[in-house]
Amino acid sequence: MATTNKYIRIRFFNNFKGEDSILITADIKGLLELENAFTKLANGHSKYEFTQLKLLDPQFKLNITAISDNKDLGLMAISSGKYEWRLTSKKWNEFKEKLISMYRLGNGGHHYLDNDSTFNNDLQVIFSWNEDQYDLDFWNKLKK
Residue 2 lies in a domain: no
Tally of structural domains, the chain = 1
Residue 3 lies in a domain: no
pLDDT at position 119 is: 62
* Nearest-angstrom CA–CA distance, 14 and 25: 17
Residue 112 lies in a domain: yes
Half-sphere exposure (Cβ direction) of 35: Cα atoms closer than 13 Å: 16
Residue 87 lies in a domain: yes
pLDDT band at 1 (very low <50, low <70, confident <90, very high): very low
The alpha carbon dihedral of 130, 98, 18, 12 has a sign of negative
Residue 116 lies in a domain: yes
Residue 8 lies in a domain: no
Q: Which residues pair with 12 in a beta bridge?
A: 22
Longest dimension (CA), the chain: 43
Residue 47 lies in a domain: yes
Q: 81: Cβ–Cβ under 8 A, 6 or more apart, which residues?
A: 62, 63
CATH number at residue 133: 3.30.1360
Report pLDDT digits (tens) over 14-26.
888 888 999 999 9
The domain in which residue 52 lies consists of 16-143
pTM comes to 0.91
Residue 10 lies in a domain: no
Strands 19-26, 124-129: pairing kind: parallel
